[in-house]
Amino acid sequence: MNPIVLLAALLIDVGNPNFRDHLGYGWSLNEHSDGRTAAWLNRMEADVFFKIAKPADHQLEIETKIFQVKDKIQNVGIYMNGKFVGSQLCKPTNDYQTLTYTVNAEHFIKGRNRMIIRVGHRARPKGDGRKLSLFVDKIRLIKIK
């Protein structure tokens, strides 16, 4: 675990080997692309682990590019410590986008937290053996109050 704490924000730089301990089940390998470090989700859900000293309301931001599945709008749901937080529909774009969620204090626990990112769709790109959905660059948790 190697979180950078800045202004009460927790940043997980996905794709950077120094942050790999934050990622559990559901992630493909670390990659470099578009001048960024990132990793694909290659399952329907993926685990993210992080530590919090004291539960508080946070804004969660996931900076990601999606693998577009024909005729489908990607839907991304978040579970924190087993409790459903919310879901967002992704914009159908090949650019990076930031998905934001409000996570209330009661969703967190003091110490090690487990977040699950759950996707609605994944698909196999041509020439790639994996079934992909989100290419995640950064995950931020920003304290609201």
Q: Summarize as ranges the residues that interact with Ca ion (CB under 5 A).
A: 13-15, 37, 137
- CB of 38 or CB of 119, closer to Ca ion: 38
Give the nearest distance from C-beta 23 to Ca ion in angstroms: 11
Give the nearest distance from C-beta 40 to Ca ion in angstroms: 12
How many beta carbons lie within 10 A of that of residue 53, not counting itself? 8
Residue nearest to Ca ion (CB): 37
- CB of 15 or CB of 26, closer to Ca ion: 15
Give the nearest distance from C-beta 58 to Ca ion in angstroms: 19
Tell me the CA distances in angstroms from 66 to 77, 93, 137, one per residue in order.
Answer: 14, 8, 11
- CB of 4 or CB of 89, closer to Ca ion: 4
Q: Degrees (nearest 5) of the Cα angle 72, 77, 78? A: 160
